[in-house]
Amino acid sequence: MTFERLGTMNVNAEGHLEIGGVDTLKLTEKYGTPLYVYDVALIRDRARGFKKTFEELGVKAQVAYASKAFSAVAIYQLMAEEGLSLDVVSGGELYTAIKADFPPERIHFHGNNKSVEEIHMALDYGIGCFVIDNYYEIDLLENILIERNEKASVLIRVTPGIEAHTHDYILTGQDDSKFGFGLTNGQAEKAIKQVLHASASFDLIGLHCHIGSQIFETTGFKLAARRIMDKLVEWHGTLGFDSKVLNLGGGFGVRYTAEDEPLEPSEYVRQIMEEVRDVANSNAIAIPEIWIEPGRSLVGEAGTTLYKVGSRKEVPGIRNYIAVDGGMSDNIRPALYDAHYDAVLAANPEKVAEETVAIAGKCCESGDMLIWDLPLPKSNAGEVLAVFCTGAYGYAMASNYNRIPRPPVVFVENGVDKLIVARETYENLVQNDLSL
C-alpha cells in the first residue's frame, strides 16, 4: 500500500514512517501511545502560503488562526512567530493566548454567548476586537463599556444565507443558524444601526461571516463575498457605513482520505478576492481590508496520531476488528461526524495490504470506531498504527471519557522533537474530585 506523503513525511532507511525528520517509532518509545505528532514545517508552510497570496494580490489582509482547531501555548507561539492573528472563542482560549504572550491587539474574540467575565477579561487584556453575534451581546457589551468608560472595536457577524457543501452539523452560514445576524432578513442592518448609534462605545470596523467547514469548492465563498459586498454598496448609500474590514471566515477543506480533493489555500483566496474586487470596482467603493480565519487548513494535515495495536476480533464472513489504545476519547470526529481517515503501520507504511480491517477504539461504546474499512498488512499486538490528518479537533475535542487520560502532543521539525503538551496522569484525573 502506498500513502500520500503530507508535509515532511518520509520513509527512512529503516523503512519506518518519519515526520519532521524524526522516526515515529522512536517517538512512541520516548513518549508512549496514543501520541499526537505535529509537523511544524507544514504548519509554517500553510501560514506563509496564505499570507503570500494576499501579498501577491496587493491586498491589505490579516490571516487569523481559528484556534478552536487546536489550542495550546506552543501552537499560539508558533502562529505569533509566523505573524498571524488569532481567533478565540472562550475565556480559556484567551487565557492560553495570554500565557503564550500572543500580542493581544491581534486577538479577535468570537462566540455566540460571551459571559460578563469573559468580556471583562478580554477588555483587561486589551484585545484587538470583538465579533458581535446577537442583539443581547450588543446591549451587554455596551453596558460593560459604559461602566468601564471604554470603547471597543467590533465586527458584526452576519449569516449570508449560503449553504455550504458540508456536514449538516457544521453548517453555519445559512439563515437557520445559532450564529450571527441574518443578511437577507434585515437583522444585520438593524444590528449595524444599533451599533452605529452607540458610537461612544463601539468602533464598528466591519463585518464577519463564516459559511461552514471542510469546503472543497469556492462557489459558496464567492456567493457569500458577493452578497455581502452588494450589501456594503447599499449601506454606503443608505447608512453612510463603510466597512474597513471584511472577515470572510475559514472552512477551507483539507485531505482526510484519498477521496478528498481540496483546492490549494491560495485558490480560495484568489477567487474570493475576484468577487470582492469586482463589486468594489463596479460601484466605486473602497476594497475593505480582508481577514480570513483558517484553522483546520493550517493544522489538520500536519497532525498524525500514533496508536499501539492491541486486541483482534474476527467475525467470520463479516468483519475483522483491530483495537488500538485510544479512540473517541482522543478523536471524537468519527463518532460525531462520521469522519473518515487513512492510516498505515508506522513500521512499514508502504507494505502491501493483505486484509481490510475495522479500527476500533478502547472506549466502552459501540460507536467508538476510528476507521471502518482500512486496507492493512497483517498486524500484531504492539505494532504502531499512524492515523493521518488528526491535527484539527483531535486534541481540541479530546475528553476523559472512561477516565482515560488525554495523550501528549509533540512538535517535530528538522529532526528535533519537542513535547509541548504533557500526557495526563491518573492523578490529574482526580485532582479536582472531592471526597464525601
Continuous H helices in 161-218: 187-197
Q: Which one-letter DSSP state was computed for residue 273? A: H
The Cα–Cα gap between 39 and 19 comes to 6
The verdict on whether residue 294 carries a ligand-binding annotation is yes
Q: Cα 252 to the chain's mean position, in Å?
A: 10
Q: Cα 342 to the chain's mean position, in Å?
A: 19
Beta strands in 287-354 (DSSP E): 289-292, 303-315, 319-324, 343-345
The verdict on whether residue 365 carries a ligand-binding annotation is yes
Cell numbers found for residue 240: 453612510
Question: Which residue is catalytic, options 129, 209, 364, 389?
Answer: 364
SS (H, E, C) the chain: CCCCCCCCCEECCCCCEEECCEEHHHHHHHHCCCEEEEEHHHHHHHHHHHHHHHHHHCCCEEEEEEHHHCCCHHHHHHHHHCCCEEEECCHHHHHHHHHCCCCHHHEEECCCCCCHHHHHHHHHHCCCEEEECCHHHHHHHHHHHHHHCCCEEEEEEEECCCCCCCCHHHCCCCCCCCCCEECCCCHHHHHHHHHHHCCCCEEEEEEECCCCCCECCCHHHHHHHHHHHHHHHHHHHHCCCCCCEEECCCCECCCCCCCCCCCCHHHHHHHHHHHHHHHHHHCCCCCCEEEECCCHHHHCCCEEEEEEEEEEEEECCCEEEEEECCCCCCCCHHHHHCCCCCEEECCCCCCCCCEEEEEECCCCCCCCEEEEEEEECCCCCCCEEEEECCCCCCHHHCCCHHHCCCCCEEEEECCEEEEEECCCCHHHHHCCCCCC
The verdict on whether residue 277 carries a ligand-binding annotation is no
The verdict on whether residue 38 carries a ligand-binding annotation is no
Catalytic annotation present for 364: yes
The verdict on whether residue 393 carries a ligand-binding annotation is yes
The verdict on whether residue 337 carries a ligand-binding annotation is yes
The verdict on whether residue 405 carries a ligand-binding annotation is no
Q: List active site positions.
A: 364
Binding residues for pyridoxal 5'-phosphate: 251, 293-296, 393
Binding residues: 251, 293-296, 333, 337, 365, 393
Binding residues for substrate: 296, 333, 337, 365, 393
